[in-house]
Amino acid sequence: MAKILLAEDEANIASFIERGLTEFDHTVRRAANGAEAWEILRDEPFDLLLLDVIMPRMNGLELCAAYRAKFGYASPVIMLTALGTTEDIVMGLEAGADDYIAKPFSFRELEARIRALLRRPRIEPEASAGLACDDLRLDPSERRAFRGGKPIDLTVREYRLLEYLLANQGATVSRPDIIRNVWDKEADRNMNIVDVYVNYLRTKIDRDFIRKLIHTVPGLGYRLEE
């Protein structure tokens, strides 16, 4: 049971989603556009946000980015979109969304995605601030890493991956573990995306330093340690 903000300008879709969520004992607050949703978010906390991408007055991507900048990453965000191309999906994820679902969708799929996000352990900003390894540390307020005092800008996905590796430093984490905890997808999804993002991180936090922190464990996964 969660308190959910639903920002959707199509009344029929909003009513359909609200009815379904209420049947699962969720509390739903609706907004008909992005600006209205932003005003609500500034006054009330929510456990999860459902944001339509295309809305008047402030679209879902702008709303998600503004919410992340002001309130951080404790509450997950699912984007509702009629745009299902890879580029559109990446834009949503990089704006700070945790997941996306393309219209039309079944309510059963939406509820499953909501449950997956709500049961995922979350690292609060205070905990993230204490995550460090050697001369690498995180700054959750700016979504940045610092290595040797040098600021490193990270995308949302890079930040979450590094946060997960730091929280489990010294332990080997498998690709399926990373998919479940960073992407919120099932373990049988394409594992190549993990390797791609690990390489992104290595370029940013290891390439210019003698001591390498991200290590490949052949056949098992990755480990971050001094």
pLDDT tens per residue, range 125-139 = 444 456 888 889 887
Which of 90, 119, 148 finishes a domain? 119
Say if residue 104 is preceded by a cis peptide, omega within 30 of 0.
yes
Which of 119, 146, 181 finishes a domain? 119
Residues 9 and 44 in one domain: yes
Mean pLDDT over each residue of the chain, to the nearest integer: 84
Task: Give pLDDT, residue 101.
Answer: 86
pLDDT tens sequence across 62-82:
998 888 877 777 788 998 887
> Angle between the 156-167 and 192-205 helix axes, to the nearest 10 degrees?
90
CB-based contacts of 124-129 (< 8 A; 24+ apart in sequence): 124/74, 125/72, 125/73, 125/74, 127/167, 128/163
Confidence category of residue 3, pLDDT binned at 50, 70, 90: very high
- The Cα 175–Cα 189 span in angstroms is 10
Which of 102, 119, 136 finishes a domain? 119
User: To 5 degrees, how large is the angle CA 68–CA 153–CA 215?
Assistant: 110
Residues 142 and 185 in one domain: yes
pLDDT tens sequence across 137-150:
887 766 778 888 88
Question: In terms of C-beta density within 10 A (0-12 exposed, 13-18 middle, 19 or more buried), how is residue 211 classed?
Answer: exposed
The CATH number that applies at residue 99 is: 3.40.50.2300
pTM of the model: 0.59
Confidence category of residue 188, pLDDT binned at 50, 70, 90: very low
The CATH number that applies at residue 144 is: 1.10.10.10
Residues 9 and 115 in one domain: yes
Domain that holds residue 133: 125-224
More confident residue, 196 or 85: 196
Residues 109 and 130 in one domain: no
Residues 111 and 146 in one domain: no
Residues 142 and 56 in one domain: no
Residues 163 and 137 in one domain: yes
Confidence category of residue 5, pLDDT binned at 50, 70, 90: very high
Residues 107 and 148 in one domain: no
Residues 106 and 137 in one domain: no
Residues 12 and 110 in one domain: yes
Mean pLDDT calculated for residue range 199-208: 91
Confidence category of residue 84, pLDDT binned at 50, 70, 90: low
Number of domains in the chain: 2
Residues β-bridged to residue 88: none
Residues 155 and 182 in one domain: yes
Residues 68 and 109 in one domain: yes
